[in-house]
Amino acid sequence: MAHFVDARTRVLQEESTKAVLSNCSDPKADLAAERARATFDVGELLHYLNGGREKVERKAHFAELISRTEWGNKSERYFQTREEQYVHGLKVAFGIWDFMKEKRLGISDGRVLRSLVNAPGGLELHIGMFIPSLISHANPEQQAKWLPKAQSLEIIGTYAQTELGHGTFVRGLETTATYDSDRQEFIVHSPTLTSTKWWPGGLGKTATHIILMARLFTKGKDYGPHAFIMQIRSLEDHKPLTGITIGDIGPKFGFNGVDNGFLRLEYVRIPREAMLMRFAKITPEGDYVPPPPANAKASYATMMYVRSTIVQDAGKFLSMAVTIATRYTSVRRQTTSSKGQRETQVLDYQSVAGSLLPLLATAYALHFTGKVMMQMYTDFERSRDRGDFSNLPELHAFSSGLKAMCTTITSEGIEKSRLLCGGHGYSRLSGLPDMYTSYVQNSTWEGDNNVMFLQTGRYLIKSLLGAMTGKTLSGYAKYLENAQFEMKERCNVSTEVQWLDPAAQLAAFRNRAARLCVDAAEQLKQESGGNPVFEGEPWDNSNVIVIKLAVAHSQYVIYKNFMDSLQGIRSRGELQPNTVRALADLQGLFGLTVLEREVGDMLESGYLSARQVKLLRAQQRALVKAVRPNAVPLVDAFGFLDYELSSALGRSDGDVYRGLLEMAQASPLNRTEEGPGWKAVLEAQMKKPGSRSRL
């Protein structure tokens, strides 16, 4: 109801309103002013990062169309219960599917749509692992049978590997698949409590089929985990099939639209052809045919594919968080030293800029590494299809370390971005809390990050030991051929400005990684009492330094990718000099920020002197200042749409306070003026005779 305000009240208020208005903030103007500071052509960089103008426009067109659909509407996003989230997630997945069919779109457009709506649901694993597993593990006949059904959503699948008792140690899985040659069937069974499958996404209430990872037994012999395809629910009434118990595992830290599930199998029979037989095989008589030795780890290929996509996506999520925080801290004003003056934009505080702008630089670094990672995986697939598995070990080492490094960086980066937004960052309407709780699982799934770092460290130490016996190394570990030389090397930077030289930064990254590799190998030798042993106690007692080595190597790789990518852009003349300069500032800022954080190792080894650290620090601070005017233009260049960010604070027009107020209206608590607590509790309590006087 309209509220009548009399003239006297208005007059009295007028003066105070004027006083407040004279120095209150104007977020839209602030953001416009930030954009005017750009030293480069934002459109050019936007198109470059997003694969061209046509793709940018296509994405905006898709957003426009889907935001008008029921499933694409995000207004209730932050207010749904778990059940609503789950059902909505399914509607989104089918909505995207139908949209793709109707418009005859391919998988890359599908990825764009998924990223625009960003509502993970019961079909994540169907798309992310079930179909990829069929592609990489099934033989041609199996693919012909299953892929069309999966691709038309006649069946919905998931990837059931992890059990209550084992996630990391895949060889320790306890679910069994025992071959019965008389009936040419496998009996799949959960023999122990700990063999219960636990975690698979979509398993709880959605999936009709699974890729089951189970230990293959034939003729009394255990051949370890293999992949099988099997149906778990009826296609008629969606009830579990006989001998199968399935359910949802309950609420999680985030990602609650997904029904991660549990599964128990009781002597369930599946046909021989259920075993995915692209590599290992079983004959009708029950003879096991192993995969050729070169691709013994072929059954792990799906995990490698997913790790590569995780690396690719890390930059995107960090860029989203940084976009929100940069726009908001540019319009948020807080504290003034003298009365009557405008308050300071919080991004102008050294502490805020010093945290946020290196994150912005890191988001760019991850963008380039994501591209390199996917290229490397695509190259592997090409050679694998020719039967050549020679680059598998490097791909495994590269993708494991980067998966761990990039997801650690992004998880921490989202949380740092949230903190930099102060109180409003804590509101889910900022988009940052949900981004964090749903992203942070990337540090765990698809291989716990420490475990992944250990895989990379193992490869590096083995490479070093090989190089010491004259073996030629290739790829990113090549520098280890010169490890002995690196041990004597000293940094030659003598002025602040010399730290801007990418070669000086790269040398520091490389030297640190090489020395840590030598240290790790030595510690492992000591723990092993001679020749290094890569398992058991000697290995376990060397974990800390091995992880440190893998972190240092991954940082070197990310920096090198940034440097090489920029070099490529320069030499091919792909961007104008001003744009390249802005990117070079980011490359320098990323490099020096990481080096500054890790100087302890380099002081300890003697590679750096205290004076060189001081120069490094001063140059890093100078780069923060150099990047500051381009902060908003650089996040604009990522090209996130308001629809995509769903954030009151990340709005591209800067109107953040209006955004908060508008989005809050959808809160179910606001459906009535008195709220749901009045009738349920408050009224009876507060109207109780003498209720106040009792206190």
Ligand X SMILES: CCCCCCCCCCCCCCCC(=O)SCCNC(=O)CCNC(=O)[C@H](O)C(C)(C)COP(=O)(O)OP(=O)(O)OC[C@H]1O[C@@H](n2cnc3c(N)ncnc32)[C@H](O)[C@@H]1OP(=O)(O)O
| Burial of residue 407, with CB atoms counted within 10 A of its CB: 0-12 exposed, 13-18 middle, 19 or more buried | buried
Contact segment (CB under 6 A) with ligand X among 16-24, 36-44, 124-132, 625-633 equals: 124-132
How many of the other CB atoms lie within 10 Å of CB of 480? 25
Q: Which of 645, 566, 658, 662 is nearest to 322 (CA)?
A: 645
Query: CA–CA distance from 665 to each of 62, 98, 435, 671 (Å)?
Result: 26, 31, 21, 8
DSSP letters of 342-378? PPPBGGGSHHHHHHHHHHHHHHHHHHHHHHHHHHHHH
Query: CA–CA distance from 137 to each of 50, 142, 187 (Å)?
Result: 32, 9, 20
Nearer to ligand X, 320 or 331 (CB): 320
Maximum separation of any 2 CA atoms in the chain, in Å: 98
From the centroid of its chain, how far is CA 285?
A: 45
Contact segment (CB under 6 A) with ligand X among 18-26, 61-69, 281-289, 453-461 equals: 453-461
Contact segment (CB under 6 A) with ligand X among 122-130, 232-240, 578-586, 641-649 equals: 122-130
Taking the complex as a whole, the smallest distance from the CB of residue 361 to ligand X amounts, in Å, to: 27
Q: Are 667 and 79 spatial neighbours (Cβ–Cβ below 8 Å)?
A: yes
Taking the complex as a whole, the smallest distance from the CB of residue 456 to ligand X amounts, in Å, to: 9
Nearer to ligand X, 447 or 633 (CB): 447
**Rg of the chain over all Cα atoms, to the nearest angstrom:** 28
Q: Is residue 352 near ligand X by the rule CB under 6 A?
A: no
The structure tokens listed for 329 are 């801290």
Nearer to ligand X, 46 or 296 (CB): 296
128 contacts which partner out of ligand X, ligand FAD, none, CB within 5 to 8 A by kind?
A: ligand X
Q: Which member of 95, 121, 122, 128 binds ligand X (CB under 6 A)?
A: 128
548 contacts which partner out of ligand FAD, ligand X, none, CB within 5 to 8 A by kind?
A: none
Taking the complex as a whole, the smallest distance from the CB of residue 168 to ligand FAD amounts, in Å, to: 3
Q: Is residue 171 near ligand X by the rule CB under 6 A?
A: yes
Taking the complex as a whole, the smallest distance from the CB of residue 268 to ligand X amounts, in Å, to: 21
Q: Which member of 73, 168, 283, 494 binds ligand X (CB under 6 A)?
A: 168
Please tell me the distance from the alpha carbon of residue 594 to that of residue 354, in angstroms, as a whole number. 13
Catalog residues that contact ligand FAD under the rule CB under 6 A.
Answer: 125, 158-162, 166-168, 199-201, 255, 260, 441, 444-448, 450-451, 454, 543
281 contacts which partner out of ligand FAD, ligand X, none, CB within 5 to 8 A by kind?
A: none
Nearer to ligand FAD, 127 or 331 (CB): 127
Contact segment (CB under 6 A) with ligand X among 127-135, 145-153, 430-438, 634-642 equals: 127-135
Helix, strand and coil content of the chain, in percent to the nearest 5, comes to 60, 10, 30
- Cβ-closest position to ligand FAD: 167
Please tell me the distance from the alpha carbon of residue 616 to that of residue 161, in angstroms, as a whole number. 47
Q: What are phi and psi of 529, to 5 degrees?
A: 65, 35
Taking the complex as a whole, the smallest distance from the CB of residue 255 to ligand FAD amounts, in Å, to: 5
From the centroid of its chain, how far is CA 255?
A: 13
Nearer to ligand FAD, 156 or 615 (CB): 156
Q: Which member of 42, 93, 127, 325 binds ligand X (CB under 6 A)?
A: 127
- Cβ-closest position to ligand X: 128
Q: What is the dihedral of CA 267, 273, 274, 276, to 10 degrees?
A: 140
In this structure, the strands spanning 221-231 and 209-218 are antiparallel
Nearer to ligand X, 227 or 304 (CB): 304
Q: Is residue 114 near ligand X by the rule CB under 6 A?
A: yes
Q: Is residue 570 near ligand X by the rule CB under 6 A?
A: no
392 contacts which partner out of ligand X, ligand FAD, none, CB within 5 to 8 A by kind?
A: ligand X
306 contacts which partner out of ligand FAD, ligand X, none, CB within 5 to 8 A by kind?
A: ligand X
Catalytic residue list contains 412? no
Q: Are 288 and 280 spatial neighbours (Cβ–Cβ below 8 Å)?
A: yes
Contact segment (CB under 6 A) with ligand X among 2-10, 259-267, 450-458, 663-671 equals: 450-458
Name the residue with tokens 């089918």: 94
In this structure, the strands spanning 209-218 and 176-180 are parallel
Please tell me the distance from the alpha carbon of residue 164 to that of residue 246, in angstroms, as a whole number. 14
417 contacts which partner out of ligand FAD, ligand X, none, CB within 5 to 8 A by kind?
A: none
Please tell me the distance from the alpha carbon of residue 231 to that of residue 516, in angstroms, as a whole number. 49
458 contacts which partner out of ligand X, ligand FAD, none, CB within 5 to 8 A by kind?
A: ligand X
Binding residues with ligand X: total (CB under 6 A): 31
The 3-class SS string of 406-441 reads HHHHHHHHHHHHHHHCHHHHHCHHHCHHHHHHHHHH
Q: Are 647 and 431 spatial neighbours (Cβ–Cβ below 8 Å)?
A: yes
Q: Is residue 304 near ligand X by the rule CB under 6 A?
A: yes
Nearer to ligand FAD, 451 or 569 (CB): 451
Q: What are phi and psi of 246, to 5 degrees?
A: -135, 150
Q: Which member of 121, 204, 261, 447 binds ligand X (CB under 6 A)?
A: 447
Q: Which member of 85, 133, 142, 161 binds ligand X (CB under 6 A)?
A: 161
Alpha helices in 74-194 (DSSP H): 82-103, 107-117, 124-125, 131-137, 140-151
Task: Return the SS3 of 60.
Answer: helix
| Catalytic annotation, pick one of 446, 481, 486, 644 | 446
Check whether 157 is labelled as a binding-site residue.
no
Q: Which member of 119, 129, 506, 550 binds ligand X (CB under 6 A)?
A: 129
Taking the complex as a whole, the smallest distance from the CB of residue 200 to ligand FAD amounts, in Å, to: 4
Taking the complex as a whole, the smallest distance from the CB of residue 21 to ligand X amounts, in Å, to: 48
543 contacts which partner out of ligand X, ligand FAD, none, CB within 5 to 8 A by kind?
A: ligand FAD
Q: What are phi and psi of 183, to 5 degrees?
A: -105, 0
Q: Are 210 and 162 spatial neighbours (Cβ–Cβ below 8 Å)?
A: no
463 contacts which partner out of ligand FAD, ligand X, none, CB within 5 to 8 A by kind?
A: none
Nearer to ligand FAD, 151 or 194 (CB): 194
Nearer to ligand FAD, 203 or 270 (CB): 203
**H or E segment and range at residue 209:** strand 209-218
Taking the complex as a whole, the smallest distance from the CB of residue 142 to ligand FAD amounts, in Å, to: 20
Q: Is residue 633 near ligand X by the rule CB under 6 A?
A: no
Query: CA–CA distance from 348 to each of 334, 345, 353, 358 (Å)?
Result: 10, 6, 6, 14
Please tell me the distance from the alpha carbon of residue 2 to that of residue 412, in angstroms, as a whole number. 47
Taking the complex as a whole, the smallest distance from the CB of residue 70 to ligand FAD amounts, in Å, to: 27
Contact segment (CB under 6 A) with ligand X among 249-257, 443-451, 476-484, 492-500 equals: 443-451
Task: Return the SS3 of 224.
Answer: strand
The structure tokens listed for 63 are 């957003």
Check whether 201 is labelled as a binding-site residue.
yes
511 contacts which partner out of ligand X, ligand FAD, none, CB within 5 to 8 A by kind?
A: none
The structure tokens listed for 122 are 């019961």
Taking the complex as a whole, the smallest distance from the CB of residue 142 to ligand X amounts, in Å, to: 20
Q: Which residues pair with 176 in a beta bridge?
A: 189, 215
Taking the complex as a whole, the smallest distance from the CB of residue 107 to ligand FAD amounts, in Å, to: 20
Which amino acids are annotated as binding site for FAD, given as ranges? 162, 201
Catalytic positions, written as ranges: 446
Q: Which residues bind ligand X (CB under 6 A)?
A: 107, 110-111, 114, 124-125, 127-129, 159, 161-162, 167-168, 170-171, 297, 300, 303-304, 306, 392, 396, 445-447, 451, 455, 458-459, 462
